[in-house]
Amino acid sequence: MTWLTLAMFLLLQSAAPQAPAVETLMADAAVKRAIEFIRQTEPQTIDEQVRLCEIPAPPFKEAVRGEAYRQAFEAGGLQNVRIDEVGNVIGVRPGAAARPNVVLSAHLDTVFPEGTDVRTTRQGAVIKGPGIGDDCRGLAVVLAVMRALNQLKIQTPGTLTFVGTVGEEGLGDLRGVKHLFDRELKGQVDAFISIDGAGLDITYAAVGSRRYRVTVKGPGGHSYGDFGLVNPAHALGRAIARIADLEVPKDPKTTFNVGRIGGGTSVNSIPFEAWMEVDMRSEDAAALTALDASFHRALDAAAADEQARWGDRGKLEIDRKLVGYRPAGRVPRTASIVQTAVAATKALGLPAGLQASSTDANYPISLGIPALTLDGGGSGEGSHSLEERFDTANSWQGAARALLVALALAR
């Protein structure tokens, strides 16, 4: 898509009023019954949320949960149900026409490593368990929308494609949604809705990220006998100190973090390598690019300092591997997809909060495809921790909103 085409697309999107579409839907008897069906069957939705959450889906190993999701799609009556070559689960609910094609998606993977106890516990309205909100809630909401449409036999003008993606978290690097738009559904998607986590916010701005694994290499040697050689661990420490002193803008919010470090063989050996993993983020692509450049300068300066400290005894090499890239971007607040989500939220009597985050929607936004992420309802805390909690109070509202947005966009 050229910049001119993108500009024209955004202009048309911003000029398309969507509130009337939502108002029309809210007046439709079948849609009203579908919303009530979602409310009444929320206990079943929560049971599915728990069931899926207790199937481990560690990074790069989502296959077992993916198979369970595939079976749920088939049981729900979707067509052309399949698992693609990277592990995404896909099912289609054809409309009167093939287009517009609206994707409703949630991600299968969690941040928790293999062997994590993923059993859940419940006390009153609160469910506790790793991943119970992020993103088992999203997976359950997608199924709830599917069930409501089929139970009430609602025919949509356009097609709805339901997806469970892999690789949304961490070093998964959005591999599922990237494959979806680059290969599996390339050129076939008119709007993308991701359901991710608890709450009722609307994510319209994509927080971009660049993630590196940096390995500093040197000759290594004995800590006493070879003292005076350049030391990769010391160079890494110098780099971390320089990174910690980087200045970044508060607006747009731009951040950096050294999340993991390691290396060496023993306490009495000069290591032959030391490594770190670095995460940098921003809501603004230019700010992220500027931070990336500063990061590389910090690495170069740290290596030069270490070489100079020991009179160039030994040679340091720095390997910089980009292990994660999420493009930054933003859908205009006036765009029809955002206005549709806002209208649907308000139609249910709920506050419509707009926010920025890093989700599966990042990638289609970067391609100029209308996309956003909706919270899945309820409320939660402790995301990405073993103590993650999901409060089910009024959680049906998240599924009801997802239904309205999907129906409005598929017109």
Q: What is the CATH number of the domain that holds 243?
A: 3.30.70.360
State how many domains the chain has: 2
- DSSP-assigned beta bridge partners for residue 127: 122, 390
Per residue in 6-17, pLDDT tens?
333 333 343 344
pLDDT at 335 over 60: yes
Q: Please tell me whether residues 23 and 115 are part of one structural domain.
A: yes
Which of 326, 343, 361 is the endpoint of a domain?
326
Q: What is the CATH number of the domain that holds 101?
A: 3.40.630.10
Q: Please tell me whether residues 239 and 198 are part of one structural domain.
A: no
Q: Please tell me whether residues 344 and 319 are part of one structural domain.
A: no
Structure tokens at 280: 């940098």
Q: What is the mean pLDDT of residues 61-87?
A: 98
Which of 276, 292, 326 is the endpoint of a domain?
326
pLDDT computed for residue 388 by the predictor: 98
pLDDT computed for residue 21 by the predictor: 87
Q: What is the mean pLDDT of residues 341-368?
A: 96
pLDDT at 310 over 90: yes
Q: Please tell me whether residues 115 and 81 are part of one structural domain.
A: yes
Q: Please tell me whether residues 101 and 133 are part of one structural domain.
A: yes
Structure tokens at 366: 């970067």
Q: Please tell me whether residues 61 and 80 are part of one structural domain.
A: yes
Q: Please tell me whether residues 297 and 373 are part of one structural domain.
A: no
Task: Determine the angle formed by the axes of helices 42-53 and 29-40, rounding to 10 degrees.
Answer: 50
pLDDT at 2 over 60: no
Using DSSP bridges, classify how beta strands 371-374 and 221-222 pair: parallel, antiparallel or unpaired: unpaired
Q: Please tell me whether residues 199 and 223 are part of one structural domain.
A: no
Q: Please tell me whether residues 39 and 103 are part of one structural domain.
A: yes
Provide the pLDDT confidence category of residue 5 given band limits of 50, 70 and 90: very low
Q: Please tell me whether residues 296 and 332 are part of one structural domain.
A: no
pLDDT computed for residue 78 by the predictor: 98
Q: Which domain holds residue 124?
A: 3-206+328-409
Which of 284, 307, 326 is the endpoint of a domain?
326
| C-beta of residue 348 within 8 angstroms of C-beta of residue 397 | yes
Q: Please tell me whether residues 313 and 338 are part of one structural domain.
A: no
Count of other CB atoms within 10 angstroms of residue 198? 26
pLDDT at 192 over 60: yes
Q: Please tell me whether residues 11 and 105 are part of one structural domain.
A: yes
What is the separation of C-alpha 56 from the centre of its chain, rounded to a whole number of angstroms?
Answer: 18
pLDDT at 3 over 90: no
Per residue in 239-297, pLDDT tens?
999 999 999 999 999 999 999 999 999 999 999 999 999 999 999 999 999 999 999 99
Q: Average pLDDT, whole number, for the chain?
A: 94
